[in-house]
């Protein structure tokens, strides 16, 4: 007889699995064929495979670089390449995806001609942190494939057309944060069961937060407005809840996850070195913006909503500022040169 009164009960007795959650969501979708659920479950499998390798990276000799450089001229980490291969293989085998785009693929790639979906992903975000055991992640987004002719440019859509987005955090635990347009939900991997269980449903980003997250090392190359915002958030003003605390991991997934859960603001603005910003619109900014807006937060390039911007190519860069509604509004006022 299972002791159901003890403080810890096996998740199977208390938790909805990711797969059950997806299937429950399908009940409200007339004409659902199961293709979407199958694609999401394929992504969950890919995350579990990547997670296993990330956890054993130091022992499996997969730290370090492959010796190659990617389309961005960045050195490719062995785990980047591995994660990319896993995602490409699992998504293609699902048979549900017509086009994929990845940070590690020079061009978007046709998959299954009759696939109903298109997937963009950053296979292993934050890879510069891999070798020092700092949280890294996988980011993905899903569009519905257009009727008729589908090509590798079909993915270049505004984020408002996304039907789902999510990320995995390979941190102290492994979690998936997912939205299919009905709120944002967090699932945590139970390694003993090899299954993701619903851990925090209906995540909401607080309207204000206590922390700001930006690489202050870029201060000298920011615009005057952003420099003034950076000084503002560090100033002392009890009535305005200032100064804000500074938190910066250097992995978008980790910094965005903290901001989503606790509020505050994350910013990677344009600067003299990165005139368009550093982060990628299609597979970093759009999915994070979709999730943030689903959770009641905001995501902007400093002027426009991220979800309204159309990528010109799969690797187009964009300034990314996301987080609590009120904190992002203040940032935008400084960026526009008109702080209150
Ligand atoms: P910087 C990691 O390399 C990454 O692509 C994002 O995950 C992260 O937010 C950003 O770059 C960090 O960049 O210039 O502060 O090291």
- Does 215 sit in the ligand 1 pocket, CB within 6 Å? yes
**Cα-Cα-Cα-Cα dihedral sign, residues 226, 124, 247, 306:** positive
Helices 325-335 and 224-234 pack at an angle, to 10 degrees, of 140
- Does 252 sit in the ligand 1 pocket, CB within 6 Å? yes
130 contacts 82 by C-beta, under 8 angstroms: no
CA 58 to chain centre: 25
Token pair recorded at residue 24: 């429950």
Q: Per the CATH hierarchy, to which homologous superfamily does domain 18-200 belong?
A: Fructose-1,6-Bisphosphatase, subunit A, domain 1 (3.30.540.10)
Pairing of strands 320-323, 195-200: unpaired
Residue 128, pLDDT score? 77
- Does 182 sit in the ligand 1 pocket, CB within 6 Å? no
257 contacts 177 by C-beta, under 8 angstroms: yes
Residue spans in the chain of domains classed CATH 3.30.540.10: 18-200
Mutate to test the pocket of ligand 1, among 104, 279, 320, 323 (most ligand atoms within 8 A of CB): 279
Mutate to test the pocket of ligand 1, among 212, 249, 252, 280 (most ligand atoms within 8 A of CB): 252
Question: How far apart (Å, rounded) are the C-alpha atoms in residues 186 and 281?
Answer: 23
DSSP state letter for 202: S
Span from the CA of 9 to the centroid of ligand 1 (angstroms): 38
Ligand 1, atom 10, residue with closest C-alpha:
250
Each of the 340 residues of the chain gets a pLDDT tens digit; together they read 655 565 555 545 668 999 999 888 777 666 667 889 999 999 999 999 999 999 887 666 666 667 777 777 777 678 899 999 999 999 999 999 999 999 999 999 999 989 999 999 999 999 778 888 899 999 999 999 999 999 999 999 999 999 999 999 999 999 999 999 999 999 999 999 999 999 999 999 999 999 999 999 999 999 999 999 999 999 999 999 999 999 999 999 999 999 999 999 999 999 999 999 999 999 999 999 999 999 999 999 999 999 999 999 999 999 999 999 999 999 999 999 876 5
Nearest Cα neighbor of 108 from 68, 69, 150 is 150
Say how many Å lie between the first and final Cα of the chain, rounded.
64
Span from the CA of 14 to the centroid of ligand 1 (angstroms): 37
Residue spans in the chain of domains classed CATH 3.40.190.80: 211-335
Residue 125, pLDDT score? 96
Span from the CA of 75 to the centroid of ligand 1 (angstroms): 14
211-335: CATH number: 3.40.190.80
290 contacts 165 by C-beta, under 8 angstroms: yes
Question: If 0-12 CB within 10 Å is exposed, 13-18 middle and 19+ buried, where does residue 5 land?
Answer: exposed
Residue 10, pLDDT score? 53
Mutate to test the pocket of ligand 1, among 72, 128, 273 (most ligand atoms within 8 A of CB): 128
Ligand 1, atom 12, residue with closest C-alpha:
250
Residue 268, pLDDT score? 98
Residue 71, pLDDT score? 76
Mutate to test the pocket of ligand 1, among 80, 104, 126, 249 (most ligand atoms within 8 A of CB): 126
Question: If 0-12 CB within 10 Å is exposed, 13-18 middle and 19+ buried, where does residue 171 land?
Answer: middle
Helices and strands: H and E segment counts in the chain: 9, 15
- Does 126 sit in the ligand 1 pocket, CB within 6 Å? yes
């Amino acid at each position: 007889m299972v002791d159901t009164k003890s403080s810890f009960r096996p998740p199977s007795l208390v938790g909805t699995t990711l797969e059950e959650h997806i299937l429950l969501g399908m009940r409200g979708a007339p004409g659902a064929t199961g293709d979407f659920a199958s694609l999401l479950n394929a992504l969950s499998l890919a995350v579990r495979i990547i997670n296993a390798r990330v956890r054993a990276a130091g022992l499996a000799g997969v730290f370090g670089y492959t010796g190659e450089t990617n389309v961005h001229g960045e050195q490719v980490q062995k785990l980047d390449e591995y994660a990319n291969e896993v995602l490409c293989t699992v998504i293609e085998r699902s048979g549900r995806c017509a086009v994929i785009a990845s940070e590690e693929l020079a061009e978007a790639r046709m998959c299954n001609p009759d696939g109903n979906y298109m997937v963009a992903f950053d296979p292993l975000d934050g890879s510069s942190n891999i070798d020092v055991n700092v949280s890294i992640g996988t980011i993905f987004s899903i569009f519905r494939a257009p009727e008729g002719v589908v090509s590798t440019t079909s993915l270049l859509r505004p984020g408002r057309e996304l039907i789902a987005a999510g990320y995995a955090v390979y941190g102290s635990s492994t979690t998936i944060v997912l939205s299919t347009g009905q709120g944002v939900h967090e699932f945590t991997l139970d390694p003993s069961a090899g299954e993701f269980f619903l851990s925090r449903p209906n995540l909401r980003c607080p309207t204000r937060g206590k922390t700001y997250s930006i690489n202050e090392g870029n201060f000298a190359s920011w615009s005057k407005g952003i420099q003034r915002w950076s000084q503002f958030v560090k100033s002392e003003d009890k009535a305005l809840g200032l100064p804000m605390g500074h938190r910066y991991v250097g992995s978008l997934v980790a910094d965005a996850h903290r901001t989503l859960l606790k509020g505050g603001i994350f910013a990677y603005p344009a600067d003299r070195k990165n005139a368009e910003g550093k982060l990628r619109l299609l597979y970093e900014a759009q999915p994070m913006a979709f999730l943030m807006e689903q959770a009641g937060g905001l995501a902007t390039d400093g002027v426009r909503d991220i979800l309204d911007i159309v990528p010109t190519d799969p690797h187009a860069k964009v300034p990314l500022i996301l987080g609590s509604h009120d904190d992002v509004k203040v940032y935008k006022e400084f960026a526009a040169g008109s702080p209150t």
